[in-house]
Amino acid sequence: MDQTTLPAIDLPSLPEVSLKALEACRNGEGHRAIAAILASDTGLTARILSLANSSLYGRCGTIRSLDQALLRLGTRQIETLVLTAALQQLMQELGSEQWQQLRDFWRHSLTSALLAKALATLTRYPEPAEAFLLGMLHNIGELVALREPDPDRRQRLLQQHPLLAARLAEAWGLGAMAADAMRHQQAPPDDIGDASHLVKLINLSTRLALSDAAGLHSAMTVFDLGEELTLEIKRRIDHEVDAFALTLDIPLDGDYSPTSGRQALRQAVAEQALLEQAQPAASLQQAAATLTLITGLPALSFGIQDDALVLLGRSHGDLPTMTLDAEPAHSALTRAYADGQPAPISPDSATVLDQQLLGLLGTAALIALPVATEGQSFGVLVLGLSQPDQPAPPLATRYCQRLARALALPQPSPSAPPAATSALQRQIHEISNPLTIVRQYVHQLQHRALTDDLQQDLTVIREELERASRLLLQMGQPDTPDTRPATDAVELNSELVALQPLFRDSLFSGDDRVLALDLCPVAADITVPRSQLRQLIINLVRNAAEALGERGRVWLRTITPVWQNGQRWVELSVEDDGPGLPPGVQQRLFQPVSSTKGCGHSGLGLSITKQLVDDMEGHISCRTGDSGTQFRILLPAADLPDHSRQTQASADD
């Protein structure tokens, strides 16, 4: 194998997998559903892992699972990546024997990955998702060899694919233990008795995936697993692979032909490219013309104004004035708006309003398509059809979904005129001046402070003033990117202790309102920016304090380590014993809403909190009721060094 360059990550994938992944992204499915599809394919996994661990995202080598990669990249970036991979795949030509090998490769890789995950769970390896990932990538050299035209080089790749997999693991920053697991995947079982846990997992899972007697012997030698238990695990994994292949429409029995899968993928890619070309502006006025452009059918667009449906756009002809009551929902237009579902009609069942719409469209039938997302309805697009009972073109439905998602995003305000911009800059300047003076006084007070506690309080004040100044600067220059480097690990417990006196003086003064800290006894190091962490804590504690009324208690708790989906987290819990969140707030939790706290509150606190947690690649959940409210936040723990990971893994051997 050449030692100069690594192979380009444009490896072939089964068309059925790319098609399902593209549809999942296009339909707005959750990142776990998308990850389950992508994780079944070595080529797509390699692309995503390479991108997520690249320097483009600031922290190379911190992603060790597809879930983490999706959180970092976002569904939109993943959709672009899958579309690009599909286009490259459609341009690749493989022979019938190569397609057969690719199908068999897919089954073997997925079987190995699922076995590695099951064995990791059984033998208490702390990161099953990492074991799955390496099981999926262990034989990536065979995939590279599949498209290698030179027979001699292809043979070298097949013979040395463990070394190639190890080099890729190192290049992607997966750590020394991962590279060793790749490198020694074919070592004799008797030689790995004292190897790391991860080496044993990958070695055994790849042998068991081959369904030979050597795998059963290895299970006994490596992990002291009996034959009956090993066979049961293998049967369960085989059944899981068969079921997953069925959901992807991949035939595992007999000869494999990619023809139907490639045709469906080609059509999906063409439709996606057409939708991208007709990217919906966040406006219903132009939607009718765009819908006609991509379907070839006449269209009308209705929006909501003062609880009424108003005709905003028409793909051809003059635009008449038409304002309609949204209720009662008798016509196709009002039914689609009320039910949030497509509503077709034919001349036989048309109301008077339906007949008016047919006249505007000049067609024999129509279907009304809602432009709506969960909890939000923006309007209805009406598409003319040539025949009764004709279904809406799939492109029309997907366009309405994309338009609704675009409308749901916060809309940028029109560019301010020069006078308004100048006024804003003057206001920012006037606010910045006193902030600068206060910061200077704080700096002088730090030199006079007599106690460490006072020094610490002044440090917090100074850093928050600096953060306020940066926010003002960003307001004055909204297009300026934040180029500050990523921060080192932050110790959560120390931050809470530092902020506690400030909270007590401002939000919990008196004996009737209490702030209690319940901190874990070990260091809670997390990899998040300090300023964002403090803003998150301040937002949550302020909300909890304001929910108490005259009296009550707020608890701040930390727990570590918390293991979830094979990743190590630090948990921060903010809990109060107030009356709980009102039903209206619960229904639109983490969305900008009108505040229930009265004058001086914008209702943006929880939406900003959710954005902060997302930016820190964390998770947030809420439990609320008559006895109080609890927000639970999982923040990514600082990575263990490789030697610590090895020690922890060896402790479970």
pLDDT band at 492 (very low <50, low <70, confident <90, very high): very high
Which residues, in sequence order, are CB contacts of 148 under 8 Å at separation 6+?
154, 157
d(CA 341, CA 374): 12
3-state secondary structure of 600: coil
In the predicted structure, residue 634 carries a pLDDT above the cut 90: yes
Which residue has better confidence, 21 or 173?
Answer: 21
Mind listing the pLDDT tens digit for each residue in 311-347? Answer: 998 887 778 889 988 887 788 999 899 888 898 886 6
Burial of 467 (0-12, 13-18, 19+ CB in 10 A): middle
Per-residue model confidence (pLDDT) at position 518: 92
pTM recorded for the entire structure? 0.53
In the predicted structure, residue 562 carries a pLDDT above the cut 80: yes
d(CA 62, CA 645): 13
Q: Look up the CATH number of domain 96-254.
A: 1.10.3210.10
Per-residue model confidence (pLDDT) at position 483: 39
Chain CA centroid to CA 312, Å: 34
Per-residue model confidence (pLDDT) at position 1: 43
Residues 571-578 have a mean pLDDT of 92
Residue 65: closest CA among 119, 15, 137, 125 = 137
Mind listing the pLDDT tens digit for each residue in 268-287? Answer: 777 666 565 555 455 788 88
d(CA 111, CA 129): 14
Which residues make beta-bridge pairs with 525? 491
CATH 3.30.565.10 assigned to domain 490-644? The reply is yes
Domain spanning 287-408: CATH superfamily = GAF domain (3.30.450.40)
Question: Taking CA 190 as the corner, what is the angle to CA 187 and CA 191, rounded to the nearest 5 degrees?
Answer: 50
Per-residue model confidence (pLDDT) at position 541: 87
pLDDT band at 85 (very low <50, low <70, confident <90, very high): confident
The percentage of residues in the chain with a pLDDT greater than 90, rounded to a whole number, is: 16
Residue type (1 letter), 509: S
d(CA 388, CA 335): 18
Backbone angles phi, psi at 318, to 5 degrees: -70, 155
Per-residue model confidence (pLDDT) at position 443: 55
Per-residue model confidence (pLDDT) at position 468: 61
**Most confident residue range from 46-60, 230-244, 628-642:** 230-244
Which residue has better confidence, 86 or 628?
Answer: 628
| CA distances in angstroms from 165 to 41, 50, 168, 215, listed in the order given | 15, 13, 5, 21
Domain residue ranges of the chain, discontinuous segments joined by +:
9-94+258-277, 96-254, 287-408, 418-476, 490-644
Rg (CA), the chain: 29
Per-residue model confidence (pLDDT) at position 506: 67
Which residue has better confidence, 168 or 649?
Answer: 168
Mind listing the pLDDT tens digit for each residue in 125-139? Answer: 988 888 998 998 888
| CA distances in angstroms from 599 to 14, 509, 594, 603, 606, listed in the order given | 58, 22, 11, 10, 17
pLDDT band at 90 (very low <50, low <70, confident <90, very high): confident
In the predicted structure, residue 224 carries a pLDDT above the cut 80: yes
Tokens of 583: 């039903």
Dihedral sign for Cα 142, 144, 147, 153, please: negative
Let me know: does 617 contact 68? Beta carbons within 8 Å.
yes
Question: Taking CA 131 as the corner, what is the angle to CA 126 and CA 135, rounded to the nearest 5 degrees?
Answer: 170
Averaged confidence pLDDT in the chain: 77
Per-residue model confidence (pLDDT) at position 649: 38
pLDDT band at 520 (very low <50, low <70, confident <90, very high): very high
Residues 374-378 have a mean pLDDT of 78
Let me know: does 590 contact 608? Beta carbons within 8 Å.
no
Mind listing the pLDDT tens digit for each residue in 457-480? Answer: 666 666 666 656 555 545 444 444
Mind listing the pLDDT tens digit for each residue in 606-619? Answer: 767 787 788 788 88
Per-residue model confidence (pLDDT) at position 76: 65
Per-residue model confidence (pLDDT) at position 63: 64
Residue type (1 letter), 257: S
Burial of 540 (0-12, 13-18, 19+ CB in 10 A): buried
Per the listing, tokens 């991860």 go with 198
Which residue has better confidence, 157 or 637?
Answer: 637
Mind listing the pLDDT tens digit for each residue in 344-374? Answer: 886 677 888 998 998 888 888 899 999 988 6
